[in-house]
Structure 1
Amino acid sequence: MNETSLRRSLVEIFRLAYARKLVDLLGGNASARLSNDEVLITPTSMPKILIKPQSIVKIRLDGTIISGSNPSSEWRMHVGIYKARNDAKFILHTHPPNILALSRAGLKIDLSLSEAISYVGEVVEVPYLKPGSAELANAVSKAVSRRGVTAVILRNHGLVTLGSTPYEALNRAEVLEDLAYITLISNCSSK
């Protein structure tokens, strides 16, 4: 994909994530690897429905802004993942309510349901760390350093999914959110 189509794809999956209630109006972020040293990332504090391809910020892996302004406050986490995983092409960070409820309740998603595991891969969890912090970026980067890991639950914060396409990253978030809902309902009805 060229830069223009990557920008359009980021806008589209972000709008789909908003429509699916995986993020609120100002929360969450998405990025795409443009080259070995350049990343496209959504801007901070911009309503999801207003993001346009030209709103996407281009940064280097060291955080230097190439074009645009004000990348997501989670840019450190995104570039850390790209540094840890050369195969990571797209990253989606969401705040799915069912996953947050499970995390808050101390429960784990049941990945044995349906063919979910074939869509998702390995899911790991990191403890709560301040959003946007270097500590969170380091913890997530370390968590995804194993090849099979495609999703990281950020305890009491949200979810990060990786994909070879933006739709794969979004699908992983959707599947995990659906499984979290099923797990919650199952736990409520069994008590």
Structure 2
Amino acid sequence: MNEQSLRELIAEIFRLAYTRRLVDLLGGNASARLSGDEVLITPTSTPKVIIKPQNIVKIRLDGTVVSGGKPSSEWRMHVAIYRVRDDVRFVLHTHPPNILALTRAGLKIDMSLSEAISYVGEVIDVPFLRPGSNELAEAVSRALSRKNVTAVILRNHGLVTVGVTPYEAFNRAEVLEDLAYITLMSSCHGK
């Protein structure tokens, strides 16, 4: 896939994520790995619902900006994931409310449901670490260094999903948010 197509897909995925209430207007971020050591990533402090392909920032794995404005404050986490996972081509970081509510309640997503088995893989939780920090980047990349892990819940913060395609990463976030809702509703009714 060429760079322009990836830019368009990042913008499209963010419109979908906003519509699906996985992110708020300014929250969340996404990236796609280009060949070599370059990554496309959403800019910081930009309303994601109106993001355009030309707004996407290009950086190197060391964080150097190649083109565009200022990258997401979570750029360290994105590049750390790409360093440990050659198979990952797309990273999506969302703030899904049901997942956040579930973790605040001290509950875990019921991963026995068929959607989890079919689409997600293993999910690992990491404790709250300051957003944008090297510590968060290290904790998430360490969790994702295992090939069967496709999602990381960031306690009191959000969710990171990865995939070969943007749609795979998005679907994992969407499925996990739905499963969190089902788990919450089941818990409220004593099931």
> TM-score, with normalisation over the residues of structure 2?
0.98
Classify the secondary structure of the residue corresponding to 1:159.
Answer: strand
Is 1:151 aligned to 2:151, yes or no? yes
The alpha carbon displacement at 1:25 in A equals 0.2
Q: Secondary structure at the match of 2:114?
A: coil
Aligned to 2:127: 127
Q: Superposition pairs for residues 1-191 of structure 1, below 5 Å?
A: 1-190=1-190
Unaligned runs of at least 5 residues, structure 1: none
Cα drift, residue 111 of structure 1: 0.8
Q: Which amino acid aligns with 2:11?
A: V
- Secondary structure class of the residue paired with 1:115: helix
Alpha-carbon separation, structure 2, partners of 1:104 and 1:116: 21
Divergent runs of 4+, >2 A: none
Show structure 2 runs of 5+ residues with no match: none
Alignment partners' CA distance in 2, 1:58 and 1:50: 18
What is the alpha-carbon distance in structure 1 between the residues aligned to residue 49 and residue 128 of structure 2? 28
Q: Write the letter of the residue equivalent to 2:61.
A: L
Q: In the aligned structure 2, how far is the partner of 1:70 from the partner of 1:168?
A: 26
SS in 1 for 2:171: helix
Deviations 1:118-162 (A, max 9, x none): 200110010000000000000001000000000000001000000
Deviation of the 1:50 alpha carbon: 2.0
CA contact (8 A) 2:15 2:50 kept: no
Q: CA RMSD in A?
A: 0.8
Aligned positions, number: 191
Sequence identity (%): 78
